[in-house]
Structure 1
Amino acid sequence: MMGLCTILEDGGIRVLEAQLRSADSVAILRHGMNICGMLFLWQVFSHCCSPFLLGGWSLALIAATSITLLLDRQRRANDIGLSPADLRRHALGGLLHGLVWAACMVLVSQSGQTEELVALWTIISCIMVCGAISYAATPLSATAYLLPCILGLFAMFDEGGQLPLRALATSYALSLLCGCFIYARTFARQHSTTVQLAEKSEVVSLLLREYEGGGSDWLWQTDALRRINGVSSRFAETMGMEPGQLEGAPLVQILAGSGWDDGRFAAGLHSLADHLKRRESFSNLVLPVEIQGQWRWWELSASPRHDENGIFQGFRGVGSDVTAQRESADKIAQLARFDPLTGLPNRSHLREVLDQAMDASKGRSPGCGFLMIDLDRFKSINDTLGHQTGDKLLSQVARRMRQVCDADIFCGRIGGDEFAVIIPHVADSAAIPRLSSAIIGALSMPYQVGQHMLHVGASVGSALSPMDGRDSEALIRSADLALYRAKDEGGGVHCAYEPRLHAQAEERRQLELALREALEKDQLHVLYQPVVDAEHGAVLGFEALVRWTHPQLGAISPVKFVPVAEEARLIAPIGEWVLRTACMEAVTWPDDIRIAVNVSAEQLTHPSFVAAVVSALAQSGLDARRLELEVTESVFMNEDAGALKVLDQLLSLGIQLSLDDFGTGYSSLGYLSRTRFNTIKIDRSFVVGASKNTAESLAIIRAVVTLADSLGMSTTAEGVETEAELQMVRRLGCKKVQGYYFGRPMLPQDAARLFPKPQRVAIG
């Protein structure tokens, strides 16, 4: 590369050398004309001019010529190289000669007559022509030579009657100067082009030397009969053969290897043979080549060669081994279309196949079917046993998917624990339910992963073209809505798309947007439901319940908007707002009244949750012992050790903990021994069942009360609405009661009225 840079920098110097070399080639003409001009002056003007003036002028001319010769000799003897300063020194010689001849015109014109001036002008014009010719390639020197001569003409033709002669002589001199400029410009362009061509030739030669010496590619060529000739050592080394073995061998036969005998040629080799036969250029032709029993990928480029008479001489080209790049490209293509974990087609590949299936099924009803499958309880396995176990489980799921799906059914992995199935042609209305049932059954069987026996289920949502979607995007969206419904129903089922699902999804989306706006515009409010002593009916505290009244839609039930908030991840900011609002209100109540606030699993696992609780207590001034946080069993679904640590931190602050809806969820008793709950809340469904003398409900309430008493916990019966239900929970041993019987959720001011007014102390 250093050599290449040097070549590019030398271009301007080469043009300068050419200019000075051209001037030097005709310098003898200029010097000879100067001597002739001097002799002519002595012959013509010696009778009218002083010999002393002519002698002095002649010495000046000889001195100028000597200086010019000396400068030219020094320049040519310089080994360092030319520079723009050499061009200026060359112009100095021209200036000296120009000044000498201008002085001649001034001196002689003062002594001679008009006829003699015409003779002087004749010799001067010849001198200027010779000078212009010798300096034509160097415009700076030509200018330095001719400008003094032009000024001398004004002194020579200075009389009034000589004005036409002055104009003619000046025009003539200026024409010579312009001619010098035009010639110099043309000369520079032509030589610059020549230099550039030479530079390109040198660059190509340099690159070829570097290419052959240090590159991984090689040069090759053939004769007119398509036989290899001029074998390069690198080409022979790449083929694993000696150059003598390749010289004269047919190129196609060498590249075909063992395939030459049985006639089985790769498509790339056929293409190469066609190009060679048609004698046409080709580039970046990739073909497989057998080298010593191993297949490699080569990339060849070449052009036909012709001699000066246009006779075809063969091909010359370049080749390179692109096996590594080809394998890498194949691997990238594999990764771009297939899931690296399961080996199933990935999302983009699925979308491509679905587009093709829908195009093929146009005009047919039913058309193609699309199933979306989501694993149930997979997240808990990932969280408890780690992602490595989860990945192994997904690999087993993929194998079962392949076993269930026939050859004409296309299955793939969308991502995470979601899979998809494409049925290009749905034969009958029972095909999709039948396949969905088979998938759910296969994926719900136990999995052995290492030392663990794992159980997951599967939910399936399906859509059918063209009724559920006329393009792939619409069909996928419809299947996704159906899957969402299957998950809502508890999982382990198949749901087909119905138009109302889209309406429900749109309603949910609009509700989410409205809920975000409600949070921003403070449209939410908190109501408080009393919790009373079961024996005496005294108010022990309140549970804070969030409510939403939309400006246009009116009151919206928590049953409707809370699931939307959880899905949209708005439950955390809403929960924090409820916590702060409830603490600010509770601090105005009597010191023995507690406030209970529900906490979602998402809040509890948030890193800043404990800080948010501490901040709410600090800003409100509420004693931590008066705050009770209610959590559900879903917090422990994933055996999350982080949630247990957060609960322990809250207990250490003095905050009370309540386990809400006990018995309705996962009913794992293990966490009760690891977390010191203060209260267990019994769900209303058991209260209603017990009031109807349902044996199971009565047994559950008794068991919960006994369990709580043995662990030092209190119990709260939820949803007590009648006197009979109150008496029943009292008999069963519940300590606290909550329900409409004692009060519905109420405004803060209504809650404050339940407290006795402080008695005034009379003074005097």
Structure 2
Amino acid sequence: MLRVAGHSMAAAIAVSLLHDDNPWWLLAAWLVLVALAVFNTVKIEHRLSNIDSRVMTRSEFTGHARAIAMMAALWSLPMLGLFTFGDEGDHHAMWTVLAMLAAGSAANMAQAPISSLVWASVCGLASAISFVISGEPLLAMSSLAFSAIIIVGSVSTARTFLIARIAEAGAAEKDEVVSLLLREFEENEADWLWQVDPQGRIRAASPRFAFALGLDPKQAEGQRLIELVAGERWQAGTLPPSLHELAERLKRRESFSNLTVQAEFASGRRWWELSGTPAFDDSGRFTGFRGVGSDVTEQRESSEKIAWLARYDTLTGLPNRLMLTESVNEALRYSAQWKARCAFLMIDLDRFKSVNDSLGHHIGDKLLAQVAQRLQQVIGPNEQVGRLGGDEFAVVVRDASRASYVADLAQAIIAAIAAPYSVDNHTLYIGASIGSALGPRDGSNVETLMRNADLALYRAKDEGGNAHARFEPTLHANAEERLKLEASLRHAIGKQELELAFQPVVNTRSEHVVSFEALLRWNSKDHGFVSPAKFIPLAEDTRLIVPIGEWVLREACREAMTWPNAIRVAVNVSGEQLLEPNFASTVVRALADTGLPSHRLEVEVTESVFLRDGRTARQTLEEILALGCSIALDDFGTGYSSLGYLRTLRFSTIKVDRSFVQGAAQNNAESLAIINAVVAMANSLEMSTTAEGVEDAAQAAMIRDLGCTKIQGYYFGRPMPALEARSLVVKRRNIAAA
């Protein structure tokens, strides 16, 4: 429309200049041609209105240039003599009209420089020729110069326009790429974008950020970020430290990265990780903050759970060994600072192993959880209780300056644990042995204090359990002696320090020797004669009982080969041996190496072997029975007696413990009842019975009257060396023959 208006005004001026000196029909024809040329040009440019979004073809470029050239040529006709000018003023005025059209075209068509170039070239050349013909060379040169200026200006303007369009297109492309990336970031990641104004109010809330806030984007717009994240704490004025730090960063306009913030919402507590940087406009004015955030609640909870698992016991919820160690260290530091005393109590449950082995780990775990609850009820704010592992617990006392404090606490713990437990319809009874050490008297560091409490615990268990023992310096001597004994015991077989003694077992009626029980003795070169009550438990604790037991089995079978065929040898087998893989193969090797028939070997076990791993023990004993050996159940009635294994295993003999024999000799009704019950049960199961600990003729007669099958005790012979056992067999055989 600007082109049409400009050409209309120029045509009106031209008509006013030419109408007096030229025929009207010529002027009218020229105006019609100019109008048609302008219409054609406008029509072509209308078709090129969308050229910004596509590429101009060669034919379109040529057609547009041709239309401009035609229009310029029509406007140049008055200057080239088609019309007569009244005077030089009209001639100059017409040139001015053409110059104005050229300038207007250059200003209006900067994006299409071809229009200006063609128009200025055609009209400028025509005007120069016209001025040369009229004898005005100066104006001709001015006309060419003006046309050159128009051409150069048009090219320069077109270049500037082109650069601006290219930059605009690049910026638009960048904006599109950034928008695409941000959209993809929010759609495919758990993170979100956030923005706040200088007052900390949310603006341009993204959908994902609004979702994290639990709001719609429109609801979140304009609300204070800190207030939304603080939740109910905002009104209470109790902001967590993380929100205080976020507020300070926003206030000081400081950039921050990976700031963990505690957020409170109606749905619960969440943890956010925010990064942000201050934003400024072109004039350097602060416009707010923008950044990214993500919900790290799951990662935070996982980290907290890992940290909890590292310091607490999962079964009982009590502090574990690591945390207890830290507590002991803190208690020692407190004692050193205030010249006070602290204490460490180590607790071991008595008879828990029997419960665990007989009823299963599931019941055992529930029992441990109840023990933990009772311990927590006993201790006060001055103590911390924890679980060391297995059935061992510990208590750290921060201030134990009062003399009887530790003893009173230990007795309270023993009483609490001794009360009956109800676990899955089972009524259970256990006890507790406690060893205590005072710091810094009994240890100025964690390791020493805990070790000394452990030594005191060993003493409490050695005294029968269900007791409290304090650490004493002599316990170190006992521990050192134990270590020395262990070192010597490891080399006892190689140094030939072990030997066997044999105690006879006789028939109750005939009093003939029917078997010998092999008993282990240790005469150490370093320690002298060591009691079996001392070194046998040590061998079991250190598992030295396995190689020692194998040696005993082999030597007992070898010695039995020197006796008459009717006499058996009985060998005690520890639970540690029965739990060894392929123990039956050890028995086979001993019989094969010595040539002893399997029916002459009797394996003696106690009830305790069924408490640790009854299934494995029963399977091993069944394999031994399959070899043809017999099995005797020793110390029946003194432990966790169960008739279940009597029903499933074919024991050859049940041995009545010496305590019942001595009780019966003193007319103890309970002992007499137990012996009668054992004899009756053994007879019904076709088993023999052996009474241990018979020391005189009266006891022998009593046992005979009670119906026991065999007798063992000092009355018929003490444990004797192998040579004496052989002599006894020969002597009794000769007496019988006579």
Aligned-pair identity (%): 57
Q: Which residue of 2 aligns with 1:632?
A: 606
Whether the 8 Å contact between 2:488 and 2:526 is mirrored in structure 1 is no
- Aligned pairs for 1:353-752 (under 5 A) are 353-362=327-336, 367-519=341-493, 523-533=497-507, 538-636=512-610, 640=614, 642-666=616-640, 672=646, 674-685=648-659, 708=682, 711-719=685-693, 735-739=709-713, 743-752=717-726
Say if 1:237 and 1:504 are closer, same or farther in 2 by CA, change over 3 A.
same
Gapped runs of 5+ residues in structure 1? Answer: 1-201, 760-764
Say if 1:657 and 1:300 are closer, same or farther in 2 by CA, change over 3 A.
same
Say if 1:243 and 1:499 are closer, same or farther in 2 by CA, change over 3 A.
same
1:214 to 2:188 alignment? yes
Secondary structure of the 2:409 match is helix
1:407-461 Cα shifts (integer Å, max 9, x gaps): 3332222222222222211252222222222222222112222322222222222
Say if 1:756 and 1:411 are closer, same or farther in 2 by CA, change over 3 A.
closer
- Aligned pairs for 1:5-44 (under 5 A) are none
Shift of 1:298: 0.8
Q: Which amino acid aligns with 2:295?
A: D
CA distance in 2, matches of 1:339, 1:466: 27
Secondary structure of the 2:336 match is coil
Shift of 1:499: 1.9
Q: Which residue of 2 aligns with 1:45?
A: none
Secondary structure of the 1:286 match is strand
Shift of 1:709: 5.2
Gapped runs of 5+ residues in structure 2? Answer: 1-175, 734-738
Q: Which amino acid aligns with 1:215?
A: E
Say if 1:213 and 1:481 are closer, same or farther in 2 by CA, change over 3 A.
same
Q: Which residue, 303, 311, 329 being the options, matches 2:303?
A: 329
Whether the 8 Å contact between 2:358 and 2:611 is mirrored in structure 1 is no
CA distance in 2, matches of 1:730, 1:247: 102
Whether the 8 Å contact between 2:342 and 2:401 is mirrored in structure 1 is no
Q: Which residue of 1 aligns with 2:256?
A: 282
Q: Which residue, 303, 307, 310 being the options, matches 2:277?
A: 303
CA distance in 2, matches of 1:237, 1:706: 81
274-283 or 747-756, which moves further after superposition?
747-756
Q: Which residue of 2 aligns with 1:198?
A: none
1:252 to 2:244 alignment? no
Q: Which residue, 341, 349, 353 being the options, matches 2:315?
A: 341
Q: Which residue of 2 aligns with 1:267?
A: 241
Which is greater in Rg? 2
CA RMSD of aligned residues (A): 3.7
Q: Which amino acid aligns with 2:372?
A: A
1:631-668 Cα shifts (integer Å, max 9, x gaps): 22333557935544544443343212223334544566
1:529-573 Cα shifts (integer Å, max 9, x gaps): 333445555443322222223332233221211010111122233
CA distance in 1, matches of 2:189, 2:633: 74
CA distance in 2, matches of 1:238, 1:695: 80
Secondary structure of the 1:332 match is helix
TM-score, normalisation: structure 1:
0.65
CA distance in 1, matches of 2:238, 2:306: 28
Say if 1:220 and 1:543 are closer, same or farther in 2 by CA, change over 3 A.
same
CA distance in 2, matches of 1:254, 1:673: 73
Say if 1:716 and 1:283 are closer, same or farther in 2 by CA, change over 3 A.
same
Whether the 8 Å contact between 2:194 and 2:206 is mirrored in structure 1 is yes
Whether the 8 Å contact between 2:386 and 2:394 is mirrored in structure 1 is yes
Q: Which amino acid aligns with 1:489?
A: E
Q: Which residue of 1 aligns with 2:84?
A: none
TM-score, normalisation: structure 2:
0.67
CA distance in 2, matches of 1:400, 1:728: 49
Q: Which residue of 2 aligns with 1:317?
A: 291
CA distance in 2, matches of 1:699, 1:386: 32
Secondary structure of the 2:314 match is coil
- Aligned pairs for 1:131-170 (under 5 A) are none
Whether the 8 Å contact between 1:376 and 1:456 is mirrored in structure 2 is yes
Secondary structure of the 2:328 match is helix
1:372-407 Cα shifts (integer Å, max 9, x gaps): 222222222222222222222222222222222223
Shift of 1:608: 2.2
Shift of 1:334: 2.5
Q: Which amino acid aligns with 1:326?
A: R
Secondary structure of the 2:518 match is strand
Secondary structure of the 1:640 match is helix
Whether the 8 Å contact between 1:410 and 1:421 is mirrored in structure 2 is yes
Secondary structure of the 1:467 match is coil
606-615 or 347-356, which moves further after superposition?
606-615
Shift of 1:597: 0.5
Shift of 1:367: 0.9
Secondary structure of the 2:263 match is strand
Q: Which residue, 231, 235, 259 being the options, matches 2:209?
A: 235
Shift of 1:262: 4.4
Give aligned pairs, total: 559
Shift of 1:496: 1.9
CA distance in 1, matches of 2:367, 2:412: 19
CA distance in 2, matches of 1:391, 1:697: 36
Whether the 8 Å contact between 1:302 and 1:317 is mirrored in structure 2 is yes
Say if 1:313 and 1:690 are closer, same or farther in 2 by CA, change over 3 A.
closer
CA distance in 2, matches of 1:552, 1:642: 38
Secondary structure of the 1:464 match is strand
Shift of 1:207: 7.7
Secondary structure of the 2:564 match is coil
CA distance in 2, matches of 1:554, 1:206: 90
1:472-510 Cα shifts (integer Å, max 9, x gaps): 222222222222222222222222222222221222122
CA distance in 2, matches of 1:203, 1:619: 88
CA distance in 2, matches of 1:249, 1:699: 88
Q: Which amino acid aligns with 1:385?
A: L
CA distance in 2, matches of 1:673, 1:455: 26
Say if 1:670 and 1:242 are closer, same or farther in 2 by CA, change over 3 A.
closer
Q: Which amino acid aligns with 1:618?
A: A
Whether the 8 Å contact between 1:366 and 1:464 is mirrored in structure 2 is no
Shift of 1:286: 0.8
